[in-house]
Amino acid sequence: MEIELVVFDMAGTTVKDKNYVGLAFQQAMKSRGYDVPLTEINPIMGYEKPLAIKMILEKIGVSEISEDLISKIHEEFVRTMLQFYQESEEIEALPEVEQTFAALRGAGIKIALNTGFSRDIALVIINRLGWESKIDMLIASDEVAHGRPYPDMINELMHRLHISSPGAVAKVGDTEVDINEAKNAGCAYAIGITTGAFTREALLPYQPTHIIDNMAALLDILEINVEKLSQ
Instruction: Please write the tens of the pLDDT for every residue from 159-211.
Output: 999 999 999 999 999 999 999 999 999 999 999 999 998 999 999 999 999 99
Q: What is the pTM of this model?
A: 0.87
Which ranges in the chain are annotated with CATH 1.10.150? 20-87
Decide: 66 and 57 in contact? Cβ < 8 Å: no
Look up the CATH superfamily of 5-17+93-230. Answer: HAD superfamily/HAD-like (3.40.50.1000)
Question: For residue 230, what pLDDT is reported?
Answer: 58
Question: For residue 161, what pLDDT is reported?
Answer: 98
Which ranges in the chain are annotated with CATH 3.40.50.1000? 5-17+93-230
DSSP string for residues in 61-130: T-S---HHHHHHHHHHHHHHHHHHHHH-S---BPTTHHHHHHHHHHTT-EEEEEESS-HHHHHHHHHHHT
CATH code for 20-87? Answer: 1.10.150
Q: How confident is the model at residue 225 (pLDDT cuts 50, 70, 90)?
A: confident
Backbone angles phi, psi at 111, to 5 degrees: -125, 130
**Count of residues making up the chain:** 231
Coil/strand/helix, residue 195: coil
Question: pLDDT tens, 123-160?
Answer: 999 999 999 999 999 999 999 999 999 999 999 999 99
Q: How confident is the model at residue 20 (pLDDT cuts 50, 70, 90)?
A: confident
